[in-house]
Structure 1
Amino acid sequence: MYKFAHIADCHLGAQKYPELKELELRAFKEALDICMAEEVDFIIIAGDLFHSNLPDMGVVKEAVGKLSQVKEKGIPVYINYGSHDFSPNQTSIIDVITESGLMKKLFNARVVKDEQEREQIQLIFTIDPKTGAKLTGISGRKMGIDNSYYEILDRKSLEAEDGFKIFVYHTSVKNILPEYLIQMGGMDIKRFPRNFDYYAGGHIHKRVCEDKLEGYGVITYSGPLFGGYPRDLEISAKGEKRGFYIIEYDDHINSCADLKFHPLELVKYLYLEFNADHKNSTQMNEEIKKELERRKNQGEIEGRIIVLKVRGELSSGKTSDVNFQEVRKYLKEASALHVSINYHGLISREYTEIRVKGETVEEIEENLLLENLKNIDLPLEELNSTNGKELATRLLKILRQNQKTNEKKGEYNLRILNESLSVLGLEDIIK
């Protein structure tokens, strides 16, 4: 009997609030502590261990310290890049850590030709020395660039391989997404190789397990260890457990029943939702105030993450008349650990503020770019609509980079110029 852990979407370094930073790190450390206590044979991290390719070094230090303890126990950690911690232009912190021997990257491929002389990507298996398990997979890339890998993937060689096999991926698979996530699109499972025992997924911040697709083994998303985006906090506050899987097997995994989910009980939540329909701004303020006072008196605020959501249409008064600053102040004074307020769905008959929706800075930027591109008639197809948004997003990511420590101004300017030209495909023209 063997045992392995499936972890994904730790997003270390994502948080700007100290209290959430601490929870983010605690989640990672507790997960690895459980893995060591359970004496797993190996650990899989299916992408986005870090929130960026070069995260805060303090966060890296904490993560490396815990990974060192895991290595001392003789437990190998296998990892793929996620869409956040990969960079096409720079070395990722994942590269540095794997070079130290604390983790091993799974994505290992070569280009071959098929019978029609078409190029294919052929993945190379990593064999776990203790269990003999054969692991491979494809790393995640931003904006679905990894889709092109799946399009030319040599599936036949992967399917023909015998033994216990695990495929590690970091992308959305539309065939197994819950209803409310279908709109985000995704890849068809047919692009995945068949005949694998376990498919360890990352990228989707929701726990999913599917074992009824013919030709495929158990296909899973473990979900995030903590999940600090406002959307994640809301889902957690509504009762979704966050954690990871530990799987025991002999020579096969039969169904989702073979998986054991380990929830991480790091903090308590309180979810509050208010409907503004048929109420004016004064009534809305009063309703929120009374409910918060009631919850405080019941001891449901202190030490918790409070997620407050207001939506609907005010009958009169501006949306800005609903005093969310006062709400936040009241909750913090009542010793709430963290306060997340969502009023994107609040509008008013009298006045409606124009907003571009998005949970993260990246989403807001992408939506702004897309909306503005719709109003511009550009002669080049590469600059229109989705293509233009993707190009502008990649360029914006490069241009917002800060000067590195000990990097001279001239070196910084040259680096930004070269990376920008590379994204635009102009490096050869300038030369």
Structure 2
Amino acid sequence: MYRFAHLSDCHLGAQKQPELRELEFQAFRMALDDALENDVDFMIIAGDLFHSNIPNMETVKRATLELRRVRDEGVPIYVNYGSHDYSPSNTSMIDILETAGVIEKVVRPIPGKKLGLEFTVDEKTGAKITGLSGRSRALEVDYFRNLDREVLEAEDGFRIFLFHSAITQFKPVDFAEMDSIDLNLFPRGLEYYAGGHVHRRGCYMEEGYGPIVYPGALFGSYAGDLEENARGEKRGYYLVEFREKAKTPQFRVIMPAEFEYIECDVTGKNSHDASLLIGREMGEHDVKGKVVMFKIRGELSSGRTSDIDSAWIRRELESRGARVVQINRHGLSTREIQKVRVAESDIPALERRIFREKLSGLDIRNKSLMKRGDSLAVELLRKLENEMAPGEKKEEYERRVIEEAEAVMGVNLDDDNR
């Protein structure tokens, strides 16, 4: 039997708090170590290795050393773009690492009336890997619709289809706003479907398909991910044994720290009594050495939400040995002042929803722009988030951002029109 490791959504560089950033990286290193200890023949990372296509250089340096260590053990690493590390102009760190021989991209389109895909053949096992990268939904659906599925289905051997999309039929109920692709647009009969993008693990068996697998986020890039960790969600990767077919994938738990979830409902209490309740709730939890996710919700009968002192809560928990403290006050309101809160587990979906609302109020006659405007706006937003690379001059940075924006918009402006 051969073995491979299936990881996804590492989102290296997502955490800004130093302690969480270190835990994020520890999870990555632990997953690679565990896979090597299990004698894998190759690894797959199904998108979003980094949280940005041009991430912080210290993050890149550390990740490169780990990936190089794996390659030095003779274990290839096959990847595709995720929605975060995608770049239409091939300036993503994924492309740079591939050029350096650290990883190998397996999404290789073949031009034609239909979208053909070339298989990458793993030298040791003979496994054939192909797939699509994560994009904005409008473009992604078009790629799947134009995919030459018959050619992929006719290929012999052990075939892996790598993708970075939610599948409509398997989408979690609380991810209803997340864009997704219908399963019927996927090629049928392949031996394994390696998914990414959905931050919750799942392994689905559907007639006519091999295992359809999501490892979920390796550590968690958003506060909602970390809150799920504290409420018992296990993080890690899938270990897969195969010959002609894949055996049932085995989930390997990778948790670099213990989490503790504390929730306090202060509905009907004034701000003073709410603080007393919070103090009692903290006393009932063992937080020593743990990442503490503290959620405060409910409507105060009187007082201000600012009366609930987050700094005091953090000091109290840290004095009891908490390793990291994250406080969620989004569900806290007062009777005097009602605030509208938005709960959204998929941040890009929330951004698209806001852009759609703004577009609907504009007099735009271009129907194509109205249809894809929200997705284009989100892609442009991703480009504007990119930082200036070390040693890059301001003029070079501005030109790079403009060129990436042109690629997203599908235009090519000359210097006089920029």
- The TM-score normalised by the length of structure 2 is 0.91
* Alignment counterpart, residue 390 of structure 1, candidates 375, 378, 400: 375
Letter in 2 for 1:274: C
RMSD of the TM alignment (CA)?
2.5
Q: Which residue of 2 aligns with 1:327?
A: 313
Deviation at residue 408 of structure 1 after TM alignment: 3.6
- Residue of 189, 199, 202 corresponding to 1:205: 199
Q: 1:75 to 1:250 in 2, by over 3 A?
A: same
* Structure 2 residue corresponding to 1:290, chosen from 258, 280, 302: 280
Q: Which residue of 1 aligns with 2:323?
A: 337
Secondary structure (helix, strand or coil) at the match of 1:120 reads coil
Correspondences of 1:181-200 after superposition (within 5 Å): 181-200=175-194
Matches within 5 A, 1:4-403: 4-112=4-112, 119-143=113-137, 145-211=139-205, 213-253=206-246, 258-295=248-285, 300-355=286-341, 366=352, 368-381=354-367, 384=370, 387-403=372-388
How far apart in 2 are the matches of 1:357 and 1:370?
A: 17
Q: Please state whether the residue corresponding to 2:111 is helix, strand or coil.
A: strand
| Distance verdict in 2 for CA 1:235–1:357, change over 3 Å | closer
In 2: Cα distance, 1:24 partner to 1:46 partner: 17
Which protein, 1 or 2, shows the higher relative CO under an 8 Å CA cutoff with sep ≥ 6?
A: 2
- Residue 221 (structure 1) shift: 0.2
Contact kept in structure 2, 1:208 and 1:221, CA below 8 Å: yes
In structure 2, the CA distance between the partners of 1:406 and 1:66, relative to structure 1 (3 Å rule), is closer
Unaligned runs of 5+ in 1: 113-118
Q: Distance in 2 between matches of 1:263 and 1:102?
A: 25
CA shift in 2, pair 1:263/1:400, >3 Å:
closer
Q: Which stretch of structure 1 is more off in the superposition, 173-182 or 388-397?
A: 388-397
Number of aligned residues: 416
Shifted more, 414-423 versus 304-313: the winner is: 414-423
What CA distance in whole angstroms lies between the structure 2 residues aligned with 1:128 and 1:141?
Answer: 26
Residues 356 and 368 in structure 1, CA contact (< 8 A), matched pair in contact too: no
Residues 45-101 of structure 1: per-residue CA shift (max 9 Å, x gap): 111111111111211221221222212221111111111111113511111111222
Report the AA paired with residue 375 of structure 2: E
Distance 2:391 2:316 in 1: 44
Per-residue deviation at 1:206?
A: 0.7
Query: Is the partner of 2:166 in helix, strand or coil?
Result: coil
Alignment-mate amino acid for residue 109 of structure 1:
P
Question: 1:115 matched to which residue of 2?
Answer: none
- Tell me the distance in 2 between the aligned counterparts of 1:279 and 1:63: 48
Using the TM superposition, give the Cα deviation of residue 387 of structure 1 relative to its aligned residue in structure 2, in angstroms.
3.8
Whole-angstrom CA distance in 2 between matches of 1:360 and 1:203: 10
Q: Is the 8 Å Cα contact of residues 230 and 359 (structure 1) preserved in structure 2?
A: no
Instruction: State which drifts further: 135-144 or 187-196.
Output: 135-144
Return 234-243 or 390-399, whichever deviates more: 390-399
CA distance 1:324–1:383, change in 2 (3 Å): farther
Q: Distance in 1 between matches of 2:100 and 2:199?
A: 29
Q: CA deviation at 1:417?
A: 4.1
Looking at structure 2, the residues matched to 373 and 283 of structure 1 have their Cα atoms a distance apart, in angstroms, of 44
- Secondary structure at 1:184 match in 2: coil
Worse overlay, 52-61 or 198-207:
52-61
The one-letter code sitting in structure 1 at the alignment partner of 2:380 is: L
Counterpart amino acid of residue 30 in structure 2 = E
- Cα separation, partners in 2 of 1:381 and 1:330, compared to 1, 3 Å: farther
* Post-superposition CA distance 1:291-324 (Å, at most 9, x none): 11332xxxx1122111111223223333333222
Higher mean C-alpha displacement, 143-152 vs 202-211: 143-152
Which whole-Å CA distance do the structure 1 matches of 2:134 and 2:104 have between them?
16
Cα displacement (A) at 1:339 = 1.5
For the structure 1 residues 242 and 144, does the alpha-carbon distance in structure 2 shift closer, same or farther, using more than 3 Å as the test? farther
Distance between the aligned counterparts of 2:393 and 2:179, measured in 1? 43
CA–CA distance in structure 1, aligned partners of residues 403 and 37 of structure 2: 48
